[in-house]
Amino acid sequence: MSNQILETLKSVSTLSLINGKRVESGTTFAVLNRFSHEVIAHVDRTSKEHIQQAVAGARRHLKNVPDGYERSRILRKAGDIITAKKSQFVDIMTLEAGFTQAEAGNEIARGLDTLEIAAEESKRICGEMIPMDGNPGQKDRIAFTIRMPVGIVCAITPFNAPFNALLHKIAPAIAAGNAVILKPSGFTPLTASMICDALLEAGWPPELLSLVHGEGAEAGEYLLDEQDIDFYTFTGSTRVGRIIQQKAGRRRTQLELGSIACTVVCEDADIDMALPRIMRATFRKAGQVCTSIQRLYVARSRIDEFTAKLAQATSALKTGNPQGSDIDVGPMIAEKEAVRAESWVAEAVSMGARLVHGGQRDKSVLAPTILSDVRAGMKVFDLEIFAPVVTLIPFDAITEAVDGINATPYGLATGVFTNDLNTAFYLARNLRVGGLHVNETSSSRNDGMPYGGVKDSGYGVEGPKYAIRDMTDEKVVTFSLRDPVA
């Protein structure tokens, strides 16, 4: 590693943050360089007692939440602080998340947009007037609603977007006037630590921010045991999402869960326009995105042409150490995950699938892989692979693609490439997904739009405006009027 990266690592706190104060619990876990597998940091494993302190401290200091204008100013200043440290954030994410430099840079650009949108929304949180005189005998009453912060928001965030996904949870929570307790993935705790430092430097009250660390489920279970937490926002597996929902009970949740993401290439599609978007949506972050394309439904009349062009473009991708500026696909988050994905590919081939490209693995780096002739019964078809692997599925009628997509247990997002409005509207009406993107892929996203799924992909939405709505309670206020006494 370069001296610059070593200096950056030294500057990042590896301790827990409890009500704005760095504390040490006495035990640690290791954070690895995802490519070399060497240890880059030992991070504090937050104790149950410290988590209890974080919740109790946040509750005591909720009265200290700044007003909307000040919250907006703090979020914008945090963005300025992060911008000044962009290179350090890039260095950390290439190490702990295995992102290429381009992926890390894009993650930061999007996260800064998320901060800016949340800052804007914090100044326009409002309720609405209620037309009371629309009911009989109510002409002398006036009513309106106001939106109040829920209280304490617990954000549990994933490794595959350690910057932007984290900000999609804590920036709206802060904008709405809530205290925040953050639990990042144990794979990527250092990025979270840097973001929390930026928020504190920007002026967010320290008593209203805590950062807890841990591997696996332990810290998460401690957080779910805390009945004084009002709201849980989680991105991760459907299995864990079900546990969170069960233990949350009456408390509200926002869950962004698993997916088998699909994109459709119709007979009239402009393949040359679609191809670079499909490449990015399939292989960025080594395919470890819930909207990464796993199934590509391609019109049978175009399947040969499309397969050849996709294979040619994929063969030009460079894999390896993400610190290299020319690398397109870096390592997966752990070697065991790359081994798992490789075994799924091998199983599919043994069951009759055709390996169009890739399939090879070098430690935690799995080559971008294309499979055809897949079918139900193969793991690459039935389960979320979360790897740089895409399957090609021909179709004759658009109804076949719709039926295939709807048959999955998930419903996050789908893309379609077509120039036919009737086809686009048919998909919009008939697909059971949270989002449809016409002439874009399943991975298309604007950070201001509502983003969420249906079925086993969860419920509730991200996007600052929409998350703020979920992270506030709507309270109705009524006035009964009478004529003034003369």
Catalytic residues: 256, 290
The DSSP code for 61 is T
The residues pairing with 18 across neighbouring beta strands, listed in sequence order, are 21
- Residue 183's nearest CA partner among 156, 159, 210 is 156
Ramachandran angles phi, psi of 349, nearest 5°: -65, -40
Half-sphere exposure of 486 (CA within 13 A, CB side): 0
Strand-pair category, 354-357 with 361-362: unpaired
Burial (Cβ within 10 Å: 0-12, 13-18, ≥19) of residue 399: exposed
Give the C-alpha separation, 192 to 190, whole Å: 5
**Structural contact between residues 187 and 160, judged by C-beta atoms closer than 8 angstroms:** no
CB count in 10 Å sphere of residue 355: 16
Structural element, H or E, at residue 315 = helix 303-315
And the tokens for 7? 């200096």
And the tokens for 438? 């016409």
**Structural contact between residues 155 and 176, judged by C-beta atoms closer than 8 angstroms:** no
Burial (Cβ within 10 Å: 0-12, 13-18, ≥19) of residue 3: exposed
Strand-pair category, 389-395 with 369-372: parallel
**Strands, E assignment, 245-332:** 252-256, 261-265, 293-299
And the tokens for 187? 């794979």
Burial (Cβ within 10 Å: 0-12, 13-18, ≥19) of residue 353: buried
